[in-house]
Chain A
Amino acid sequence: MTTATAFEKARADGRAALVGYLPAGFPDVAGGIDGLRAMVDAGCDVIEIGLPYSDPVMDGPTIQAAAQQALEGGVRIADVLRTVEAVAATGTPTLVMTYWNPIERYGVSRFATDLANAGGAGLITPDLTPDADPAWAASADEHDLDKVFLVAPSSTDERIAMTTAACRGFVYATAVMGVTGARTTTSDLAGPLVARTKAATELPVGVGLGVSTGDQAAEVASYADGVIVGSAFVRVLLDHADDRAAGLRALARLTEDLAAGVRRA
């Protein structure tokens, strides 16, 4: 299934899609695959796999801690691709979320080829805007990979038009001016941003940054096509570091709560 199909299917059901994130190699490569599969089984419609990076400027403390643990555990890009392959095999569209330097270093064209061969759906690029470098768009097009760029509350309408025109799959709207991390209240900036984004594109718009509960998911689902959750899943695994089985059960429970939330809007 493509990412676009997953969003269409959710829309046909009269609900938003649930997009779940974990970094690869956290708590280790096998544990990360188990976690992501548990999230798929419990109701995630789309999966994002983070490529751990040494300098994650858009991430708050929770995801930083997970990425650092993965890197200290020796995770390599090959492990990220192996994780993609294992999760994509479930049939759920699986994207990689990555800062740009690891891709440039690996080779943009080579990465696109290897990601496509692993069954990956595409890339989400938090520090690469479409106007920063055209290399990714060219390689993604060659392999029919999704190009998910971000729009932010500070984006001008002109930039939203430019960014959405370059996206394939969906558009990632950052709900707050800030970094990743669970927040107790949802943002009042997200709704207007989604409205401005939808005025510019037919693509589905997913909202990320700060959502951690079913109630917040329901609220975001009332105006967005997708609800993106990352830090809350990571937090569950960090809180169950001593008991993998309990961690997977808690991950499933959180997924179910969020999946119910996106159906409640």
Chain B
Amino acid sequence: MSIHATTPYDADARGWFGGPEGFGGRFMPEALVAALDELTVAWQDAMADPTFVGEFDAILRDYAGIPSPLYFAERLSDKVGARILLKREDLNHTGAHKIRNVLGQALLTKRMGKTRVIAETGAGQHGVASATAAAYFGLDCTVYMGSVDTKRQALNVARMHLLGAKVVAVDSGSATLKDAINEALRDWVSSVDHTAYLFGTAAGPHPFPTMVREFCRGIGDEARRQSIEQYGGLPDAVVACVGGGSNAIGLFTAFLEDEDVAIYGFEAGGEGFDTGRHAATIHAGERGVLHGARTFVLQDDDGQTVESHSISAGLDYPGVGPQHAHLADAGRATYLPVTDVEAMDAMALLARTEGIIPAIESAHAIAGALRLAEERQGQTILINLSGRGDKDMGTALEYFRLGQADAETGDVK
């Protein structure tokens, strides 16, 4: 497997996408640099070791149900006038693409001889995946979660507890995902000799953006092969939702050098760009440094991080992975916002037409693809259905007034 700078879209050996004037790098306390260097070396050794790669593939296959299918959504296609292919990451163990990343990082943790993992989580999906991987490998696990999120996602807290993880509610700052990352980093500074930080997305300091991408790139590698073998060629466009960006970069990587394949990332437009309550970091953010990398950041004139908003907790992050910033800057991928309302409409539409309830994160990708279909009639659009919607039923219940006589989810037959 390739690791560094084999295409113009990859990072150099120091983690810069597009050179030191570009994005990424490593803006971290000196106390953590030795651990990041150690991790970089251990990961590169592991990726060059056929035993490690074989073990990773076997766990993905036998434990996580990967490769996931590439499914032709016929009824939805008929409805929108474009051929829609869904990469069914929602069928993976724990219900999302995130299991790929945590199994990779946890396997690496074992190899490095560390006994404890920590993770941050927003909605709780990465926390649940981390707790799952920790249970699988017999590692101690502590998950940091904003106290606002532990309340909204009590069921996921319960899942983590059942899996044997400790969950720490974080009250500092805005008490959401970014503060959970801050607290996990504070833990890591104190525990780095025996603890690995299972970072939940393709962001943060080098090597995380590239390492997480490599653990997730099976999404695109599989989808590209499946598209050719099952559907007779490459899609015209590939589409994913982007929060931190791990599912998106996992899909996009296989298609970066297919010049005829258009690449679209859909960010959380929240209540609308004009309201200021959104998480459209690439669309509306400015260059800055957050959580160890230079990227696009929602920030004020003094460089203070601004709180993001999205109905989907998994996209509710004021930064974005640096490779996405680079792909946007280089013009290789297009990033557009999708509002809460559009995403919820798309969630209902997919449920009614295909019998698939997507995660609200993934519903952003569906909504974006519906928009693309209007100008791409008859073309093939491949969407990463990154996760399933079970975790979002509380939100859906409230939003659609489900179970009540006047429930309204759109008129789709």
Given contacts A55-B182, A101-B297, A105-B302, contact A127 B27 (CB under 8 A): yes
Minimum Cβ distance to chain A for residue B236 (Å): 39
Name the residue on A nearest B186 (C-beta).
A179
Q: Which of A61, A149, A150, A154 touches B192 (beta carbons < 8 Å)?
A: A154
In the complex, B26 has a CB within 8 A of chain A: yes
Name the residue on B nearest A153 (C-beta).
B31
How distant is the Cα of A152 from the Cα of B189 in the complex, in angstroms? 10
How distant is the Cα of A53 from the Cα of B290 in the complex, in angstroms? 11
Chain A residue numbers with a CB within 8 Å of B185 are: 57
Chain A residue numbers with a CB within 8 Å of B30 are: 129, 149-152, 154-155, 159, 163, 174
Chain A residue numbers with a CB within 8 Å of B189 are: 57-58, 177-179
Query: Judging by beta carbons under 8 Å apart, are B29 and A105 in contact?
Result: no
Q: Which of B27, B31, B173, B286 touches A132 (beta carbons < 8 Å)?
A: B27
Q: Which of B31, B172, B186, B302 touches A102 (beta carbons < 8 Å)?
A: B302
- Binary contact track A44-70/B, C-beta < 8 Å → 1, others 0: 000000000111111011001000100
Minimum Cβ distance to chain B for residue A62 (Å): 12
Query: Judging by beta carbons under 8 Å apart, are B25 and A105 in contact?
Result: no
Minimum Cβ distance to chain A for residue B1 (Å): 27
Q: In residues 145-188 of chain B, which contact A (Cβ within 8 Å)?
A: 172-173, 178-179, 182, 185-186
Interface size on B, residues (CB 8 A): 39
How distant is the Cα of A103 from the Cα of B288 in the complex, in angstroms? 10
Chain A residue numbers with a CB within 8 Å of B394 are: none
How distant is the Cα of A54 from the Cα of B178 in the complex, in angstroms? 10
Given contacts A55-B182, A100-B289, contact A68 B31 (CB under 8 A): no
Minimum Cβ distance to chain B for residue A93 (Å): 23
- Binary contact track B220-260/A, C-beta < 8 Å → 1, others 0: 00000000000000000000000000000000000000000
Minimum Cβ distance to chain B for residue A76 (Å): 6
Interface size on A, residues (CB 8 A): 43
- Binary contact track B339-370/A, C-beta < 8 Å → 1, others 0: 00000000000000000000000000000000
Q: In residues 97-145 of chain A, which contact B (Cβ within 8 Å)?
A: 100-106, 126-129, 131-134
Q: In residues 361-385 of chain B, which contact A (Cβ within 8 Å)?
A: none
In the complex, A90 has a CB within 8 A of chain B: no
Name the residue on B nearest A61 (C-beta).
B172
Query: Judging by beta carbons under 8 Å apart, are B302 and A127 in contact?
Result: no
In the complex, A6 has a CB within 8 A of chain B: no
In the complex, B395 has a CB within 8 A of chain A: no
Which residues of B are at the interface with A, using a C-beta cutoff of 8 A?
A: 14, 20, 25-35, 172-173, 178-179, 182, 185-186, 189-190, 192-193, 286-292, 294, 297, 299, 301-305
Which residues of A are at the interface with B, using a C-beta cutoff of 8 A?
A: 53-58, 60-61, 64, 68, 71, 76-77, 100-106, 126-129, 131-134, 149-156, 159, 163, 174, 176-179
6 A-B pairs, CB-CB below 8 angstroms? A64-B172, A101-B289, A102-B303, A103-B303, A127-B292, A154-B33
